């Protein structure tokens, strides 16, 4: 009897590690030799390289993406009594980062691309609104021209959650360059992922950058001098080694993701019941996730997983239906577009090392599951 084929993970982190293992080992050995474990040279080198990659003057490495979100809100001077608009369809960290900084998140429903819908923003702007925080979801940017115009018309700060779009562009302009500051995450499954938790703040503002550097390091620029309250949230030097090795390959890996997305589009074209994802005009997608919509999604997911296909859901619960945000006073039906998407979306395996054979297996399993 022949052995069952190997399971296909949602993201093949083993293949990524195999490509960079020797370089990472050398870098980590260098850190050990230098004993530069906190904010060492490897952190500065990565911050400078990622800032160049994103075409901004400042990158400040922090402990994780949620801290990065909190810090851009705090650094902008927002706090209790203020409101920040966020999309209803995103990971809960977007809202929690705002809440931890003090303001209240105000939710906005999504559009056909699962992004914050610019046409629904104006109705959510009130006397306490101070900022708009769109999420660049699944690998592509929100409609930043439309959202930016609304922010400017109402005198609001524009921020960005760029955790899922490292390397993505809109009309040639990189993510993280549209707002006053952007937060990103280097969670292992991201297009640029660490070997643990890590994140960063990107900004063109010297003042915001200086503020975030203090916030991440106990409110201090000088050791044992703490003029304000801060936090312990610094990018780990060993993680910076990993991120530097991956950053050198990020453009190539993103291009491999685009080829994989195009293959999925072709393979799924004749599969009844599958709605393939689209790209908002003007966007250069980096396909952090390849998210289809299918009927009877939960049953389909169960069958895929039983067949060894590591599919997932991003995200099964819109923000307003989480218990953690019940104080916002929403109920089912308040954000119908996000709710309908949450019942139908299905993330198929996607990573830069995804082979054509594996994609064919995924699509064949999906066809049978449907």
Per-residue model confidence as pLDDT tens digits over 22-66: 999 999 999 999 999 999 999 999 999 999 999 999 999 999 999
pLDDT, one tens digit per residue, over 196-237 is 999 999 999 999 999 999 999 999 988 899 998 999 999 999
Average pLDDT over residues 107-122: 97
Domains 14-247 and 249-369 share a fold: no
pLDDT, one tens digit per residue, over 7-34 is 999 999 999 999 999 999 999 999 999 9
List the domain boundaries for the chain: 14-247, 249-369
For position 368, what pLDDT does the model report?
97
Q: For residue 315, is the peptide bond before it cis, meaning its omega torsion is within 30 degrees of 0? A: yes
pLDDT, one tens digit per residue, over 221-232 is 888 999 989 999
User: Taking CA 299 as the corner, what is the angle to CA 296 and CA 305, rounded to the nearest 5 degrees?
Assistant: 135
Dump the DSSP string for 138-156: TTS---HHHHHHHHHHTT-
CATH fold of the domain at 14-247: 3.40.640
Token output for 326: 């019940």
User: Pick from 60, 89, 92: which is nearest to 74 by CA?
Assistant: 60
Contacts of 364 (CB under 8 A, 6+ apart): none
> pLDDT-derived band of residue 2, with 50, 70 and 90 as boundaries?
low
Pairing of strands 169-170, 283-284: antiparallel
CB distance 370 to 139 below 8 Å: no
Dump the DSSP string for 50-87: HHHHHT-SEEEEES-HHHHHHHHHHHTT--TT-EEEEE
> pLDDT-derived band of residue 3, with 50, 70 and 90 as boundaries?
low
For position 357, what pLDDT does the model report?
98
Q: How far apart are CA 9 and CA 363, in angstroms?
A: 14
Q: How far apart are CA 3 and CA 231, in angstroms?
A: 51
Token output for 320: 């307003």
Average pLDDT over residues 270-298: 98
For position 63, what pLDDT does the model report?
98
Q: How far apart are CA 353 and CA 223, in angstroms?
A: 44
Task: Please name the residue that has the structure tokens 């993280």.
Answer: 176
pLDDT, one tens digit per residue, over 314-358 is 999 999 999 999 999 999 999 999 999 999 999 999 999 999 999
The CATH number given to 249-369 is 3.90.1150.10
pLDDT at 127 over 80: yes
pLDDT at 6 over 60: yes
**Residue 159: beta bridge partners?**
181
Dump the DSSP string for 320-357: GGSGGGGGG---TTSSHHHHHHHHHEEEEP--TT--HH
Q: How far apart are CA 191 and CA 53, in angstroms?
A: 14
Q: How far apart are CA 128 and CA 312, in angstroms?
A: 37
Contacts of 215 (CB under 8 A, 6+ apart): 71, 74, 75, 230, 231, 233
SS (H, E, C) 308-320: CECCECCCCCCHH
Among 1-5, 52-56, 171-175, 285-289, which stretch is predicted with the lowest mean pLDDT? 1-5
pLDDT at 1 over 60: no
Helix (H, G, I), strand (E, B) or coil at 16: helix
CB distance 228 to 219 below 8 Å: yes
């Amino acid at each position: 009897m022949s052995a069952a084929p190997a399971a296909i993970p949602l993201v093949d982190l083993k293949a990524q590690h195999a490509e960079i293992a020797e370089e990472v080992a050398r870098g980590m050995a260098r850190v050990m030799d230098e004993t530069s474990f906190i904010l060492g040279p490897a952190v500065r080198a990565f911050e400078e390289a990622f800032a160049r990659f994103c075409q901004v003057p400042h990158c400040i490495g922090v402990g994780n993406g949620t801290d990065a979100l909190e810090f851009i809100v705090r650094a902008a001077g927002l706090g209790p009594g203020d409101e920040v608009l966020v999309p209803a369809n995103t990971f809960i960290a977007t809202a929690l980062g705002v809440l931890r900084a003090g303001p209240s998140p105000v939710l906005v429903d999504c559009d056909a691309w699962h992004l914050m819908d610019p046409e629904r923003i104006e109705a959510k702007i009130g006397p306490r609104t101070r900022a708009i925080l769109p999420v660049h979801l699944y690998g592509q940017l929100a409609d930043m021209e439309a959202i930016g115009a609304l922010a400017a018309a109402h005198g609001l700060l524009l921020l960005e959650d760029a955790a899922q779009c490292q390397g993505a562009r809109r009309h040639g302009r990189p993510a993280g360059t549209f707002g006053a500051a952007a937060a990103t995450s280097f969670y292992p499954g991201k297009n640029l992922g660490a070997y643990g938790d890590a994140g960063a703040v990107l900004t063109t503002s010297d003042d915001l950058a200086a503020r975030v550097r203090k916030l991440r390091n106990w409110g201090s620029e000088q050791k044992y001098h703490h003029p304000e309250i801060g936090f312990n949230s610094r990018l780990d030097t060993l993680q910076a080694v990993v991120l530097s090795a991956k950053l050198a390959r990020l453009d190539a890996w993103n291009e491999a993701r685009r080829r994989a997305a195009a293959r999925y589009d072709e393979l799924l074209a004749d599969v009844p019941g599958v709605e393939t994802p689209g790209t908002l005009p003007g966007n250069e997608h980096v396909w952090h996730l390849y998210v289809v919509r299918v009927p009877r999604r939960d049953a389909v997911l169960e069958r895929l997983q039983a067949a060894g296909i590591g599919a997932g859901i991003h995200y099964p619960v819109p923000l307003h239906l989480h218990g953690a945000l019940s104080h916002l006073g929403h109920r089912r039906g308040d954000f119908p577009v996000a709710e309908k998407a949450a019942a139908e979306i299905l993330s198929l395996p996607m990573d830069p090392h995804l082979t054509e054979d594996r994609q064919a297996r995924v699509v064949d399993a999906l066809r049978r599951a449907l």
